[in-house]
Amino acid sequence: MPLVLREGYDAIAEAAVNAGCRFFAGYPMLPFTGLLDAFTRSFESNGQGVMIQADTEIEGINMALGAAATGARAATGSTGQGIALMQEAVAEAALNELPLVIFNIGRGQQDYFQCTRGGGWGDYRTIALAPSSVTEADELTRLAFDLADQWLTPVIVYGDHLIGFTQMTVEHDPDRPPAPQPEKPWALDGSSGGTGRSKVIWTWRMGKHNTPGLGPDQHWRNVAAKYDEIAQSEPRHVTGDVDGARHLVVSFGTTGPFVDYVVDELRAAGHPVGTFRPITLWPFPSAALAAAASGCDQVLVYELNAGQMIDDVRLAVNGAVPVRAVGGVSQDESGMRQGELLGVDVMRARILAAIEGADRR
Amino acid sequence: MTVAPHHTPRGTVVMALERCKGCGLCVPVCMPRVLEMTEIRNAKGYVLPRLLDGCTGCRACADVCPDYVFEVYRFDAADEEVH
Amino acid sequence: MTTQSTPVDLSGARKVAPFAPDLLQTTEHHLCSGCGHPVAWRLLVEVLDELGLVDRSIGVVGHG
């Protein structure tokens, strides 16, 4: 397939449209705004698709939720602060079992808890995918729409400004056929008009007076069981060269390639260190991480926040190996972008200190 | 206000009082003022309305009732009699 | 039950208002005494019926 140079925003929007996305609604907030613009361009060149700049983030996600209810592949997005406003609607999508893709073009890595724990109500999860590059964002955007339709759940794609503004190569075949989509018999598409049997989409699934539904207890049990199934079959991760590794560095998202770069250098200098990167933040690839960490003296977590993914790392490792945080909160002076902890010199110094510190113990 | 006497009533209602919740909205909305609240209570414990003579079948009570208590009828023969 | 002292004689009467439209599946609800919601529901259902839109409608119910 031919390669083209694309800015992250365009790569994501084009991948979404090629995956069948025909509705996008959101509200501008940097660094997400570029994605709103990109969807406008992609729908225009596709000749089909609706992009609405809503009056608020809550309005945007609810519009997308409505579009999803009619059977369309629909998406919304924002940055962390706006995703925070959308939390109720995310829970609604999950408990309504509606497919919905949500793009968080974040200001950094501080939204890990937001995309894995969520702030909505009830027993629900969201699949969360964390691309490390523009190229991976293209793949994971396509995957997001497939997973959303397959499992009838919201899926979060957690990117950031680095992905948005960077140009990288992506595969681009203008004749690539659109992604196949499953049947959606539950969709409110007017097909049951005149039959006297209207369809009901309801988080409590009580049905109607004359046609009662499962009811909230059974419905919520079913939804929870579905998320258990997803946790079994959908974890994804990447392991670097871990041959002989006694120290495992775990990172996610765009921090990943920087960690890879540093660890490659350290390995070349003889340090027994390897890398592990979850692609799915939820379901977190716990079994794979536990296996990768089993031969190690310690697991180092390099994330640019006060310690969020490290909770999942600790759960996965389950006390078998010490886990240490070697990253931290790091934003630039604007607060919109990662700061100096993303620099490879700082990274190398911290990882080396942790390696040597452990060796001295 | 006096109600003109008719040999036959112009209208009447049938009330499903078991579901009345005693809100009393039917009383002020009744145009000929022929509904009044009593102290009789239904099984739910709510006080109930009573229909006096002079109903015109205007259906304002049915339109305003939140509990669908009223079914409204008109006697067309009574209108013919007046004219 | 009835509060009328004499039974209602409906011979010769013409019904001008039913208890509730057929499309309303039940008259039971737990909303407060005097609530306006059920009145709005009835009006909505009557209009949808009158305009022939029932088979082409999507209802969206809000929260709270």
Measured between CB atoms, does A66 come within 8 Å of chain C? yes
pLDDT at A192: 86
pLDDT beyond 90 at C62 = no
A147 touches A155 (CB < 8 A): yes
pTM for the whole structure: 0.89
Domain assignments of chain B as residue spans, ordered by start:
23-75
Q: Cβ A210–C58 below 8 Å, yes or no?
A: no
Which amino acid appears at position B18 of this protein? E
| Complex-level ipTM | 0.86
The predicted model gives A124-139 an average pLDDT of 97
Residue of C58, C61, C63 for testing the chain A interface, max A β-carbons within 10 Å: C58
Q: Cβ B71–C19 below 8 Å, yes or no?
A: yes
The predicted model gives A158-164 an average pLDDT of 97
Compute the distance between CA of residue A349 and CA of residue C42 in angstroms, rounded to an integer: 71
Compute the distance between CA of residue A107 and CA of residue A333 in angstroms, rounded to an integer: 12
Measured between CB atoms, does C11 come within 8 Å of chain B? no
Compute the distance between CA of residue B1 and CA of residue A64 in angstroms, rounded to an integer: 59
Which amino acid appears at position A233 of this protein? S
Compute the distance between CA of residue A258 and CA of residue A266 in angstroms, rounded to an integer: 13
**Cβ neighbours of A66 in C, within 8 Å:** 60
Compute the distance between CA of residue A285 and CA of residue A6 in angstroms, rounded to an integer: 30
The answer to whether the bond into A235 is cis (omega within 30° of 0) is no
pLDDT in tens, A210-243: 889 999 999 999 999 999 999 999 999 999 999 9
A237-360 CATH pick, 3.60.21.70, 3.40.50.720, 3.40.50.920, 3.30.1600.10 = 3.40.50.920
Residue C58: closest CA among chain A residues belongs to which residue?
A188
Residues of C near A (Cβ–Cβ under 8 Å) read: 25-26, 55-56, 58-60
CATH topology for B23-75? Alpha-Beta Plaits (3.30.70)
Provide the angle, in degrees to the nearest 10, between the axes of the packed helices A87-95 and A216-233. Answer: 100
pLDDT at A193: 83
When comparing pLDDT for B7 and A150, which is higher? A150
Q: Is C60 exposed, middle or buried (0-12, 13-18, 19+ CB in 10 A)?
A: exposed
Alpha carbon A233 to its chain centroid, in Å, reads 16
pLDDT in tens, A263-272: 999 999 999 9
Per CATH, A3-171 and A237-360 having the same topology is answered yes
The predicted model gives A110-136 an average pLDDT of 97
Compute the distance between CA of residue A64 and CA of residue A350 in angstroms, rounded to an integer: 43
pLDDT at A25: 98
pLDDT mean across residues, chain B: 90
User: At B80, is the secondary structure helix, strand, or coil?
Assistant: helix
Domain assignments of chain A as residue spans, ordered by start:
3-171, 237-360
Q: Is A357 exposed, middle or buried (0-12, 13-18, 19+ CB in 10 A)?
A: exposed
pLDDT in tens, A12-31: 999 999 999 999 999 999 99
Q: Cβ C58–A188 below 8 Å, yes or no?
A: yes
Measured between CB atoms, does B6 come within 8 Å of chain C? no
**Cβ neighbours of C59 in A, within 8 Å:** 198
The dihedrals phi and psi of A4, each to the nearest 5 degrees, come to -130, 155
Residue A300 β-bridge partners = A249, A324
pLDDT in tens, C10-57: 999 999 999 999 889 899 999 999 999 999 999 999 999 999 998 888
Of the candidates A70, A29, A58, A115, the one whose C-alpha atom is nearest the C-alpha of residue A305 is: A115
Q: How confident is the model at residue B2 (pLDDT cuts 50, 70, 90)?
A: low
Residue of B68, B69, B74 for testing the chain C interface, max C β-carbons within 10 Å: B68
- C-contacting residues in B 19-78 (Cβ below 8 Å): 19, 21-25, 38, 40, 42, 46, 48-51, 57, 59, 62-77
Residue A187: closest CA among chain C residues belongs to which residue?
C58
Give me A102's structure tokens.
């949500």
- Which chains would you list as touching B if contact means 3+ CB atom pairs under 8 Å? C
The predicted model gives A331-339 an average pLDDT of 95
pLDDT at B83: 54
Superfamily of chain region A3-171: Thiamin diphosphate (ThDP)-binding fold, Pyr/PP domains (3.40.50.970)
Q: How confident is the model at residue A176 (pLDDT cuts 50, 70, 90)?
A: confident
pLDDT beyond 80 at B4 = no
- Which chains would you list as touching C if contact means 3+ CB atom pairs under 8 Å? A, B
Q: What is C7-49 written as a DSSP string? A: ----TTEEEEE-SS-TTS--S---PPTT-SHHHHHHHHHHHHH
A322 touches A355 (CB < 8 A): no
A327 touches A302 (CB < 8 A): yes
Compute the distance between CA of residue A232 and CA of residue A286 in angstroms, rounded to an integer: 10
Give me C32's structure tokens.
């407060």
**Cβ neighbours of B76 in C, within 8 Å:** 12, 14
pLDDT at B7: 58
pLDDT mean across residues, chain A: 96
Window from A37-41, A174-178, A299-303, B4-8 with minimum mean pLDDT: B4-8
Give me B75's structure tokens.
């006697």
| Rg, C-alpha atoms of chain B | 13
